Amino acid sequence: MKYKVNFYVNEEPVELYVDGNKTMLNILRDELCLTGTKEGCGAGECGACTIIADGKPLNACLVLAPELDGMHITTIEGITKDGELSELQKQFVELSALQCGFCTPGFIMSGTALLQENPNPSREEIKTAIAGNLCRCTGYVRIIEAIEEAAKVLRGGER
C-alpha cells in the first residue's frame, strides 16, 4: 500500500507516494538521491544514517517514511550552505577527524543537532550526543575535538 507523505527535506518541500514498509533511509537514498546519509547496520546500531528531524537526531534506518510526514528533515547535504561547508564539517577536515569517512555524515549530523541545542557542550555532553555513532577507523578523540572546536568558533571565534 502506498502512503502520501509531505515533508521538507533540506528546506525543500517534498511530496511522495511511498510504500508503507520503506524507511526514511530508503527514501533519502533511493528516491531523493541523497546518498550522503549512509547505511551501515540498517538496525539502529551504528548511527551512519543519522539525520535531523524537527531538530532531533534520528536514525533514518529505524523510521518508516510515513512516520515523518509533516516534519522538517535535514541531511548532511543540507548543512552545506551555498557550497560552503558548515563549521563542524570544516573542523572535521582541519583536525583530520575522519579516515574512510563512512561514519562521518552520521557523526556530523549528531554533532550538528547537539550544537543547535547546546552551543557550549561539555566533553561529557559531546560523548553522550555521539554515543549512538560508531567509527571503526579514526577513533573518537579527534571527532570529539572537532565538535569542541566548532562549538568554540560558533560561539564567537575564540580558538
Q: Which residues bind ligand FES (CB under 6 A)?
A: 39-42, 44-49, 59, 61, 98-104, 135-138
Least distance CB 140 / ligand FES (angstroms): 9
Comparing CB distances to ligand FES, the nearer of 83 and 145 is 145
Least distance CB 38 / ligand FES (angstroms): 7
Comparing CB distances to ligand FES, the nearer of 30 and 45 is 45
How far, in Å, CA of 61 to CA of 106, rounded?
12
- What per-residue string of b and e applies to 38-53 under the rule 16 or more CB within 10 Å gives b? bbbeeeeebbbbbbbb
Comparing CB distances to ligand FES, the nearer of 39 and 148 is 39
Question: In the structure grid, which three cell numbers stand for residue 147, read together?
Answer: 565538535
Q: Which residues contact 68 (CB under 8 A, 6 or more apart)?
A: 5, 7, 24, 53
Least distance CB 43 / ligand FES (angstroms): 6
Comparing CB distances to ligand FES, the nearer of 6 and 148 is 148
